[in-house]
Amino acid sequence: MYPDLFSIGPLTIHTYGLFVVIGFVVGILVTVRIGKARGISSQQIMDMGFVMILSAIIGSRLTYVLTNLSYYKAHPIDILRLWHGGLVFSGGLIAVIIVMGWYIRRHNYSLWEIGDLWSPAVALGQSIGRIGCFMAGCCYGNPTDMKWGVIFTHPKSLAPLNIALHPTQLYSFLSGLIIFIVLVILHTKKKFAGQVFLWFLILHSTGRLLIERFRGDDRGLIFGSEWTMTQLLTTLILVAAVVALFIVKSRKEKDLNDHKIQG
């Protein structure tokens, strides 16, 4: 593929970084459009977007570094080389939830409403970012004899060269795109605050766990098992989201029933 688009003197435009930026920009534009329909100003969304982007990058990079700690102990400067790939979405998502929890409380927003607001954008932004992964060769899949296997030949590719691999980056791209469409539709039909956000967590986690089975890059195993840190975090997010959806939905139905009885 094409890890580097072009160079101007010492400046090199890396495909991975470019598509990550495009994903963030498109995500913000989508959220601005959704926010207008809900009376949220573009400036509020831009402010939240900056906080989310910063915390997502730090959280996803930190998680990747921790899962490959032995390498980064020997090569600490590589921690800053984001253009080489190495962002764990689940780690970034957890960081965003924690930081935005503080931000929302500080500005008296609703956690569930803000989660609903941003969920479609996160799904679409991540989907676009995966194209950058595909171009750079990071997040590559296991060897395969399937007809759609991809062979990387570029010498700067992060994937093994000259062998057919599962295009897990494209699996993630399609998964994110489908989730985005589902969430946009759900936005028009949602019955309670938090419904879109929780379904995003459930759909993303389910898709990620399925795709993880085809991943071939080394992400570190935990406790001597066959599980990666990504799988553990994703499973915890999935379980928490399912439980939260059940609780929030039950409370909403109880409130409606109480209202009918009082009425």
What is the rounded distance in angstroms from the CA atom of residue 35 to the CA atom of residue 114? 10
Q: What is the pLDDT of residue 11?
A: 66
DSSP string, 186-253: HHTT--STTHHHHHHHHHHHHHHHHHHTTB-S---BSTTSS-BHHHHHHHHHHHHHHHHHHHHHHHHH
- Residue 100, both tokens: 């935005």
Q: What is the pLDDT of residue 13?
A: 72
pLDDT level of residue 253 (50, 70, 90 thresholds): confident
92-96, 109-113, 204-208 — which one is most confidently predicted on average?
Answer: 204-208
Per the structure, the complete domain to which residue 59 belongs is given by 4-262
The beta-carbon contacts of 148-151 under 8 Å, at least 24 apart in sequence, are none
Determine which helix (DSSP H) or strand (DSSP E) holds 56, and give its type and residue range. Answer: helix 42-67
Mean pLDDT of the chain: 86
The sign of the dihedral angle between the CA atoms of 66, 71, 73, 77 is negative
Q: Could you report the per-residue pLDDT of 29-69, keeping only the tens digit for each? A: 999 999 888 888 889 899 888 888 889 888 888 888 887 78
- The answer to whether 135 and 16 are in contact (CB under 8 A) is yes
Asked if residue 83 has pLDDT above 90, the reply is no
Q: What is the pLDDT of residue 1?
A: 66
Burial class (CB in 10 A: 0-12, 13-18, 19+), 226: exposed
Q: Which residue has the higher pLDDT, 200 or 83?
A: 200
- State the total domains in the chain: 1
Q: Which residue has the higher pLDDT, 156 or 225?
A: 156
Asked if residue 138 has pLDDT above 80, the reply is yes
Q: Which residue has the higher pLDDT, 113 or 6?
A: 113
Q: What is the pLDDT of residue 84?
A: 62
